[in-house]
Amino acid sequence: MGYGNHKLIYLKGGVVENRPEFDAKATDKRRKNFRIMLSRYLSSPIPEMKVQIILEDESFTTQTDDYGYFSAWVEPKRDFEPGWHPVTYVINNQGGEICKAEGEFLIVAKEAQFGTISDIDDTILVSHATQLFKKFRLIMTKNAKTRLPFDGVAEFYKKLKGNDNPFFYVSSSEWNLYDFLQDFFKVRSIPKGPFLLQEYKSGLRDLLFTGGGSHQHKQEKIKRLMLLFPDLKFILIGDSGQRDTEIYRQALHEFPTRILAVYIRKIGKKDEFDRETAQEFEDKGVPLLMLENTEEALNHAQEKGFF
């Protein structure tokens, strides 16, 4: 899923081979879930592949990088209305079309009151990201139909979305899990929004340490959104397990007038904000809350008039 404003659209995808189609069912056995998750990390990216991007009657061309990714900023001649629009990706060779895939992109409405940027693991999706064994067991034995969200997330996010407010999901999950996340969000009725994920990984070790790394890429993606939508303020939602507070603090430094509130789900028993961080948010007049449950965030957002 891409995203953009009335002048500029960001589109991203990957070209891989040996990746089967996945169709998860709630009745799937652990063995099948294990095999499918494993296959997500054993597909092979294809570098230097030309990809044609088709937006209605306009066409653009890009090329995959060394890791099989392509990304493009496109400036269509026509203005797209706010909402979701289709995009087609085509790979050709001398004999003609060899692969075709459909995607979509979001044009953010000028009427949007604010946007929401949310983490996924241990913010929306119960993941145990800081406990390696529990995390690995969940990943390998469950699927999109059987993994669970935190209580109240879908209701809270729907209220934040309202009619026009966009959602963006910035996560350290890899692009390997894109189809899983799409399916999970649909099954659990969580508002649709572009996923801004960590780069594609390949191999068993990467699967074992999925969601790891410095998480600094989140800051870069948040900055991209802030610059693309300069008139839009944001609510930031994360958890205490993967440096979200520190990342959102960096965003506060760069965009001190653009953040309406920060909600952090408490993962550890002793997790609290350090005094310096709490003071900095207070000085900027931005609410910073450590939450035991989703209901606390919902009540605060309601008091603030966000919905």
Say which amino acid occupies 130: T
Distances in whole angstroms, Cα of residue 160 to Cα of each of 25, 157, 300, 302: 30, 5, 12, 9
Please give the model's pTM, rounded to 2 decimal places: 0.91
**Per mean pLDDT, which range of 22-26, 62-66, 209-213 is the poorest?**
209-213
pLDDT tens-place string over residues 176-224: 889 999 999 999 999 999 999 987 666 555 555 554 555 678 999 999 9
Return left, alpha or beta for 142; rule: phi > 0 is left, psi -120 to 50 is alpha, else beta. Answer: beta
The pairing of strands 195-198 and 234-239 is unpaired
Query: Model confidence over 111-152: pLDDT tens digits?
Result: 999 999 999 999 999 988 667 777 778 778 888 999 999 999
What per-residue confidence (pLDDT) applies to 40? 83
Q: With 0-12 CB in 10 A as exposed, 13-18 as middle and 19+ as buried, what is 300? A: middle
Tokens (6 digits) for 124 = 């929306």
**Beta bridge mates, 9:** 4, 74
Q: How many CB atoms lie within 10 A of CB 254?
A: 13
